[in-house]
Amino acid sequence: MAVLSRSDPEVYDAIKNEIGRQRSTLEMIASENFTSLAVMEAQGCVMTNKYSEGYPGKRYYGGNQFIDVTENLARDRAKKLFNAEHANVQPHAGSQANMEAYFATLKLGDKILSLFLPEGGHLSHGSPVNFSGQWYKIVHYHLDPETGTLDYDAIRKTAIAEKPQMVLCGYSAYPRTVDFKAFKEIADEVGAIMLADIAHIAGLCAGGAHPQPFPYADIVTTTTHKTLRGPRGAMIMCKEKYAQAIDKAVFPGMQGGPLEHAIAGKAVCFGEALKPEFKEYAKQVVKNAKALADELMAKGFKLVSDGTDNHLMLVDLRNKGCTGKEAQNWLEETGITANKNMVPQDDKSPFVTSGIRLGTPALTTRGMKESEMKEIAGMIDKIIAAKGDPAATAIARGDVIALCGKHPLYPELKW
Ligand SMILES: *Cc1c(COP(=O)(O)O)cnc(C)c1O
């Protein structure tokens, strides 16, 4: 970044400090990952200069012949990755993708059935502080309070009683496999559209480590920057039946010019995810999560649903005598980045919480395996037992730096 370093040293320094932070910490936020340098090169390119309202072959501006190449590559690769009949790769973010999917298929005031946010849902699935909760009627289903898992019979009963226009599955903090077929059957029984928001698990679906939402889902929304390991952004896929409505809802319905540099990055990401190595990656993410979960449980930690099938786990800290906020801070001081999270039947506020969410996608990208997960579980156990004690924190910080040093991030970058 020689040009930037001369032209804007303040921004340059912040970027340089950020790569230093990423290199020297253990990234355990379940929704984060490290893209390849190829994705970043594509994303940081001249395609940011171009207006391309419309779709490949049907643009409102001239000069889109090469933009069409990357957008078509992204669309075709996305369809192949997820066995989708149609893909729209223009949504700027996961929340916009959901907004556009609702706009395409629902009327204001229609009813959406989704999981309650504090139990693992997402803001854009009907939270009262989000547009979704204000523009649509929201009915929530809940996790089984005993097992912490989806209760399909209860969801079906709520659907029959409430007759929603849309049944939504897809979560930000749910550690178990989602049964898309069961959701489709429930949606069909009440004549609702089934939307699967696979923002978190997209990379696992694409890599064969979680079942695919198609052919069951009518519409699938996803981010591209979580387990899928692409640039920050999103897309919507759907059955051919909904293709025209989705495309119209994205443009001109909700967005103007697409971020074609981000779409170039998405194309590269999907190309990477089609390679056999990505299947290995997705499998390792799940193996690592299982290893971390098993070791934490062996150390007396309570996990919601007693384990994990995917890339994340929710640690319920109520038996450890601390809050999610405290644990997040203590971990952060040692260089382990995670986030506090509500657990089912949480009596604390969302700013405090009784749990933390831990994920393995980013650590797995750094090449860590089961043995490192065991080591990290040991570190977490000690850090939480020490309750922020400065001497213990300093020792743990040293352990984190040593482990990061064994798995260098972006070693090709000269910084
Ligand atoms: C992350 C996430 C989103 C939103 O993504 P943004 O890009 O942050 O808007 C939507 N749905 C689910 C389930 C998510 O986990």
- Residue-wise pLDDT for 207-229, tens only, equals 999 999 999 999 999 999 999 99
Which residues are paired to 340 by β-bridges? Answer: 356
Domain that holds residue 138: 50-273
Residue of 33, 195, 197 with the most ligand 1 atoms within 8 Å of its CB, for mutation: 197
- How far apart (Å, rounded) are the C-alpha atoms in residues 398 and 404? 10
- Does 306 qualify as catalytic in the annotation? no
Does residue 41 lie in a domain region? Answer: no
Same domain, 298 and 240: no
Q: Which of 27, 71, 100, 197 is catalytic?
A: 197
Residue 87: strand pairing partners = 237
Mean pLDDT of 241-246: 98
Would 8 be classed as within a structural domain?
no
Q: Which residue out of 221, 223, 360, 393 is catalytically annotated?
A: 223
Confidence grade of residue 236 (pLDDT, cut at 50, 70, 90): very high
User: What CATH number is given to the structural domain containing 319?
Assistant: 3.90.1150.10
Question: CB-hemisphere CA count at 13 Å for 377?
Answer: 25
Asked if 51 is an active-site residue, the reply is yes
Look up the CATH number of the domain holding residue 196.
3.40.640.10
pLDDT at 289: 98
Q: Mean pLDDT over all residues of the chain? A: 97
Band of the pLDDT at 345, cuts 50, 70, 90? confident
What integer is the mean pLDDT of 4-31? 97
Q: What is the pLDDT of residue 118?
A: 85
Confidence of residue 252 (pLDDT cuts 50, 70, 90): very high
Number of domains in the chain: 2
Q: Which of 246, 273, 300 is the last residue of a domain?
A: 273
Say whether both 129 and 235 belong to one domain. Answer: yes
Give the model's pLDDT for residue 115: 97
**Contact criterion met (CB below 8 Å) for 383 and 46:** no
- The answer as to whether 211 is a domain residue is yes
- From residue 230, give the alpha-carbon distance in Å to each of 240, 262, 263, 269: 25, 9, 10, 5
Q: Is 11 among the domain residues?
A: no
Confidence category of residue 11, pLDDT binned at 50, 70, 90: very high
262 pLDDT tier (thresholds 50, 70, 90): very high
If you measure from the C-alpha of residue 130 to the centroid of ligand 1, how many angstroms do you get, rounded to a whole number? 13
> 141 catalytic, yes or no?
no
Give residue 140's pLDDT band: very low, low, confident or very high (50, 70, 90).
very high
Band of pLDDT at residue 414, cut at 50, 70 and 90: confident
Same-domain pairing of 74 and 216: yes
Residues with Cβ < 8 Å from 138, sequence gap 6 or more? Answer: 111, 112, 114, 125, 126, 132
Of 227, 248, 273, the one marking the end of a domain is 273
CA of 217 from ligand 1 middle (Å) equals: 18
Are 136 and 106 a contacting pair, CB within 8 Å? yes
Same domain, 257 and 302: no
Output the pLDDT for position 415: 79
Give per-residue pLDDT as tens, 281-291.
999 999 999 99
Look at residue 180 and tell me if it is in a domain.
Answer: yes
Query: Do residues 54 and 158 share a domain?
Result: yes
Shared domain for 25 and 158, answered yes or no, is no
Residues 141, 238 within the same domain: yes
Q: Which residues line ligand 1 (CB under 6 A)?
A: 31, 93-95, 122, 124, 170-172, 197, 199-200, 223, 234
Say if 5 falls within a structural domain.
no
* Angstrom distance (rounded) from CA 132 to CA 327: 31
Domain boundary among the residues 242, 273, 304 is at 273
Percent share of the chain, pLDDT over 90: 97
Query: Residues 375, 231: one domain?
Result: no
Distances in Å between the Cα of 414 and the Cα atoms of 1, 20, 403, 411 are 10, 12, 20, 7
Same domain, 106 and 222: yes
Domain-located, residue 61: yes
Q: Are residues 254 and 287 in the same domain?
A: no
Are 177 and 61 part of one and the same domain? yes
Mean pLDDT of 71-90: 98
Asked if residue 126 and residue 219 are part of one domain, the reply reads yes
pLDDT in tens, 287-324: 999 999 999 999 999 999 999 999 999 999 999 999 99
Query: Average pLDDT in the 36-47 region?
Result: 97
On whether residue 1 sits in a domain, the answer given is: no
